[in-house]
Structure formats: structure tokens, C-alpha cells
């Protein structure tokens, strides 16, 4: 990106999302009639994953009832009450209605959390690979503290990694289920991390230093594999409550990425400056969406039934992927067992077969030769050329997956045979 003397240093240093750049090129190929499976963006095709009818009907009814004026900056009182009740019901997190701040998706409340906690030069610790955190480091003039995951850790940061850097950390952001890897923190893993944070905060309190704050991004929390349970930090370690900010949204859990409703749950005494910042940003969801969501989130049983059905549809697609990819192991294809969300961490170790050196070369080969569009882990901050990619199933049918795997198997067999005949 070229620099312009009219812009701030922050603006001149801003990067465009690599994920969105890849997705744009894939859409262009599809528009040209090419056969491509879009395993790229973390979005949902409405033809594959429908938003609950009770929500869409509620939006229409609210518009017809004239609910079209400004909502309160923090969110409608009835929505904040419903979300507070839901968080207590589902995650044992009790912040009360005053501890819920609503935004137009999870991004505004995430950005607000960083702006309200970080001073220039403060440390922002995050796992890699992970969604967009390295961009937020730049936007907040923070110090980047990446915690690189490994296949052995299921690409999740560990308590020992965090402990090594804890004295540098002001904000620690964790995401579970993790985008891009589709893996989840287990109870003992999360408990150990919380204990590291609490021990550090005890020291800081005695020295009058600002504490470490845990920002917990759980926008995929309702999507878990059949044998996996989502864990919230307060469930693993109740003492972490005063230092925890939780982010959630309907974007993923209700497959309504374009409806733009998210929220922050935090100790209520911290909420006034958040409300002020969201108000200055104008980052509130449309009033009809808030009215409809307030009604839906008051119906816990209806929500649970919807989530059970959604998990079944996700699991069906993941099962096909796992079975088909397992048969390709001899070509250098491996994956980490999916635990939650809509993502599968898959390694295409094709460097020798294709005589290439970078993930980008493998990505382009998969796209051009097999019509398989995926995202390298470099787009999520993990820069090593290791052949790891994210596969997303949000915009594909089971038939799309089978067809893509047929093309992939044929392309890999041809490349393998050619490499071994030379």
C-alpha cells in the first residue's frame, strides 16, 4: 500500500484483510462460471443455513409497528435483559442487564473493548493463528504479543506461553471455538490460563499497576462437535469474573452475519465509558433487529432447539470432510479433529509433490487445479510456510463438499503420479 502524506501514520500503515482479498478473487471466478467450492470466508449461505423464522418475522413486525427510530446507545432495555438472562442460563455468567452493551455485530464492541483498555505501548496478547488480532494491534498502537500455537496444542495458546509473557500483557484475547482452527479450550486449559492471570493481577494490585484483562471472544460458542462442551472462563474459574469481558453475537450463532447484532458482557461498573464510546461511534444495531432479538433470546428452549439442529447440519458437513480428507493422507493431507465453529484446520503438505516453497503457491494450485478455495494460516498471523489452511463449511452443501473432494482427489493423484514418475 502506497503512503499518502495527507493521511495519519495509522491509516498509512493499515492493511486490508487478506481473507477478504482472497474471497473477492473467488467470487470473481464463480461469477465467470468456474467450478469452485468457496471454503473461504466465515459466512453462511442463506440457502444452506437459515436464520430462525421467529427472528426474521419479528424484524418485519417491528418495522410494520413503526420501530424505526434511534435505539439507546447501549441497546434496548428489553434486549439487554434478555441477553443477560441468556448468558446466565447458558454460561453461568451473571452481569445483569447493565453489564450488557449492544453493538452492530461483535466488531464494534471488540474495538470498543480495546480502545477502553489499551494505552499506546500496552501489550495485546493473542494466539496465532487467530482472526484479525494483529490488525487490532496496529489500530490501537499496542505492542504485539503473538502466542504461536502448534498442532499439538490444537493451535490454541497455552498457560505456559502466557506465563512467560504475562508481565508484558495488558489485554489477553482468547477465542473459543477458535477461528480459524475449529478447536476449543478445555476446562483445565482455561482454568490454568485464568490462574496465571489471577496470580499476575495479585502482584499488580500490590504495586498499583493496571491488571491484565481477559477478553473472551465466543461468537461460535453455540456451535460445538457432539463430544465437545464450550467452556466460559467464569465456569472454569469464578474468580476471573472482575477481569473478564465477553464478546458474543448473532452473526454466527444464528447464521445472520448481515443482520449485525453483537454484544459485550462485562462487570456492570465498567459499562458507562463503553456506552459513551458506542454512542460516539453510532455503532448500534437497527431497532427492529434489537426488538426481534429481545423476543428470541427470552425463549431459551427455542434457542436450544435451533442450536441443536444447526450443530447437526455442521457435523454432517464436517463428517464428510473428515472421511474424504482421511483418504488423502498419503498425498500429504492432514487435519486437526474439529471441535467447534465451522472450520477445519487442514494441512496440505504438498511442497515436495508440487515443487513449491510457499503456502500461497499451494493455495493457488488448489484453487486453479481442483476448484478448492481455502485460506492459508498466514491470513491469521501464523507466517510460517507449513501448509496449514482454514476450510470453512458455511457456504457449501454436502453435495458441494463431495464434488470438491472428487476434484481434489483427482488433482492430487495426478500431481503425485507425475512427481514420482519424473
Tell me the mean pLDDT in the region 340-356.
Answer: 97
- What is the DSSP annotation of 330-388? GGTEEEPPP-BTTEEEEEE--HHHHT---HHHHHHHIIIII-EE-EEGGGGT--S-S-E
Q: Which of these three, 300, 335, 353, is where a domain ends? A: 300
Residue 213 is classified by DSSP as E
Q: What is the pLDDT of residue 272?
A: 94
Structural domain boundaries enclosing 274: 53-300
Q: Which of these three, 300, 322, 348, is where a domain ends? A: 300
64 and 39, same structural domain? no
244 and 131, same structural domain? yes
Q: What is the pLDDT of residue 42?
A: 83
Q: What is the pLDDT of residue 1?
A: 54
Which among 351, 312, 335, 328 is positioned nearest to 411, based on CA atoms?
A: 328
CA angle 320, 324, 325 (to 5 degrees): 115
- Distance between CA 148 and CA 415 in Å, rounded? 32
On the CB side of 100, CA atoms within 13 Å amount to 27
The answer on pLDDT for 33 being more than 80 is no
Confidence label for 162 from pLDDT (cuts 50, 70 and 90): very high
Tell me the mean pLDDT in the region 136-144.
Answer: 91
The answer on pLDDT for 111 being more than 70 is yes
393 and 277, same structural domain? no
Q: Which of these three, 253, 270, 300, is where a domain ends? A: 300
Q: What is the CATH number of the domain that holds 316?
A: 3.90.1150.10
Interval 76-101: pLDDT, tens: 999 999 999 999 999 999 999 999 99
* Residue 18: strand, helix, or coil: helix
Is-contact 359 385, C-beta < 8 A? yes
- Distance between CA 411 and CA 414 in Å, rounded? 5
347 and 335, same structural domain? yes
Residue 329 is classified by DSSP as G
Name the burial class of residue 56, with classes exposed (0-12), middle (13-18) and buried (19+) by CB atoms within 10 angstroms of its CB. middle
Q: What is the pLDDT of residue 333?
A: 97
140 domain-assigned = yes
420 domain-assigned = no
Confidence label for 422 from pLDDT (cuts 50, 70 and 90): low
- Distance between CA 231 and CA 226 in Å, rounded? 14
The answer on pLDDT for 220 being more than 70 is yes
Tell me the mean pLDDT in the region 177-200.
Answer: 97
Containing 411, the helix (H) or strand (E) segment is: helix 398-421
1 domain-assigned = no
104 and 45, same structural domain? no
Pairing of strands 388-392, 143-148: unpaired
Instruction: Name the strands in the sheet holding 123-128, side by side, starting at the edge strand that comes first in the sequence.
Output: 100-103, 262-265, 244-249, 213-217, 171-175, 123-128, 143-148
Dihedral in degrees, nearest 10, Cα atoms 336, 380, 180, 391: -80
- The cell for 22 is 482472497
Would you mind telling me the total number of residues written for the chain in this entry? 422
323 and 290, same structural domain? no
Tell me the mean pLDDT in the region 28-32.
Answer: 77
410 and 276, same structural domain? no
Is-contact 211 201, C-beta < 8 A? yes
Q: What is the pLDDT of residue 132?
A: 83
Q: What is the pLDDT of residue 139?
A: 87
Q: What is the pLDDT of residue 41?
A: 78
Confidence label for 3 from pLDDT (cuts 50, 70 and 90): confident
> What is the average pLDDT value for the chain, to the nearest integer?
94
196 and 100, same structural domain? yes
139 and 90, same structural domain? yes
Which among 24, 170, 131 is positioned nearest to 382, based on CA atoms?
A: 131
132 and 14, same structural domain? no
Which among 272, 216, 270, 275 is positioned nearest to 248, based on CA atoms?
A: 216
Residue 9 to residues 3, 4, 12, 296: CA-CA distances in angstroms? 9, 9, 5, 44
Number of domains in the chain: 2
Is-contact 212 170, C-beta < 8 A? yes
102 and 43, same structural domain? no
The answer on pLDDT for 172 being more than 80 is yes
Q: What is the CATH number of the domain that holds 89?
A: 3.40.640.10
Is-contact 403 396, C-beta < 8 A? no
178 domain-assigned = yes
Interval 351-394: pLDDT, tens: 999 999 999 999 999 999 999 999 999 999 888 999 999 999 99
201 domain-assigned = yes
289 domain-assigned = yes
Residue 210 to residues 11, 167, 303, 356, 419: CA-CA distances in angstroms? 29, 11, 38, 48, 58
Residue 51 to residues 224, 309, 312, 392: CA-CA distances in angstroms? 18, 12, 15, 18
225 and 349, same structural domain? no
Amino acid at each position: 500500500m502506497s503512503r499518502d502524506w495527507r493521511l495519519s501514520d495509522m491509516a498509512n500503515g493499515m492493511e486490508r484483510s487478506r481473507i477478504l482479498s482472497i474471497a473477492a478473487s473467488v467470487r470473481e471466478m464463480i461469477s465467470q462460471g468456474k467450478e469452485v467450492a468457496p471454503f473461504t470466508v466465515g459466512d453462511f449461505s442463506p440457502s444452506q443455513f437459515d436464520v430462525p423464522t421467529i427472528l426474521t418475522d419479528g424484524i418485519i413486525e417491528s418495522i410494520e409497528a413503526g420501530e424505526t427510530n434511534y435505539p439507546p446507545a447501549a441497546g434496548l432495555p428489553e434486549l439487554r435483559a434478555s441477553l443477560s438472562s441468556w448468558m446466565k442460563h447458558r454460561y453461568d455468567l451473571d452481569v445483569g442487564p447493565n453489564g450488557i452493551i449492544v453493538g452492530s455485530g461483535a466488531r464494534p464492541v471488540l474495538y470498543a473493548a480495546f480502545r477502553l483498555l489499551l494505552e499506546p505501548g500496552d501489550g495485546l496478547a493473542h494466539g496465532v493463528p487467530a482472526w484479525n488480532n494483529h490488525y487490532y494491534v496496529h489500530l490501537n498502537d499496542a505492542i504485539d504479543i503473538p502466542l504461536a500455537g502448534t498442532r499439538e496444542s490444537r493451535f490454541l495458546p497455552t498457560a505456559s506461553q502466557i506465563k512467560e509473557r504475562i508481565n508484558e500483557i495488558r489485554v489477553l484475547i482468547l477465542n473459543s471455538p477458535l477461528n480459524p482452527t475449529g478447536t476449543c479450550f478445555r476446562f483445565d486449559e482455561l482454568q490454568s490460563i485464568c490462574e496465571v492471570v489471577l496470580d499476575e493481577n495479585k502482584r499488580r494490585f500490590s504495586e498499583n499497576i493496571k491488571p491484565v484483562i481477559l477478553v473472551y471472544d465466543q461468537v461460535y460458542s453455540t456451535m460445538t462437535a457432539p463430544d465437545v462442551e464450550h467452556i466460559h472462563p467464569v465456569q472454569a474459574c469464578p474468580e476471573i469474573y472482575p477481569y473478564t469481558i465477553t464478546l458474543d453475537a448473532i452473526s454466527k450463532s444464528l447464521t445472520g452475519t448481515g443482520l449485525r447484532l453483537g454484544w459485550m458482557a462485562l462487570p456492570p461498573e465498567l459499562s458507562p465509558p463503553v456506552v459513551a464510546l458506542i454512542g460516539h461511534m453510532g455503532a448500534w444495531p437497527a431497532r427492529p433487529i434489537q426488538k426481534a432479538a429481545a423476543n428470541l433470546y427470552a425463549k431459551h428452549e427455542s434457542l436450544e432447539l435451533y442450536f441443536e439442529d444447526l450443530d447437526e447440519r455442521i457435523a454432517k458437513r464436517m463428517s464428510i470432510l473428515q472421511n474424504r480428507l482421511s483418504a488423502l493422507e498419503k498425498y500429504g493431507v492432514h487435519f486437526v479433529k474439529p471441535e467447534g465453529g465451522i472450520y477445519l484446520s487442514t494441512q496440505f503438505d504438498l511442497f515436495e509433490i508440487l515443487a513449491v516453497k510457499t503456502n500461497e503457491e499451494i493455495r493457488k494450485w488448489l484453487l486453479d487445479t481442483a476448484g478448492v478455495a481455502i485460506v492459508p494460516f498466514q491470513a491469521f498471523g501464523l507466517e510460517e510456510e507449513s501448509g496449514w489452511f482454514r476450510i470453512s463449511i458455511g457456504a457449501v452443501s454436502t453435495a458441494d463438499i463431495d464434488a470438491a473432494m472428487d476434484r481434489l482427489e483427482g488433482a492430487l493423484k495426478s500431481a503425485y503420479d507425475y512427481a514420482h514418475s519424473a
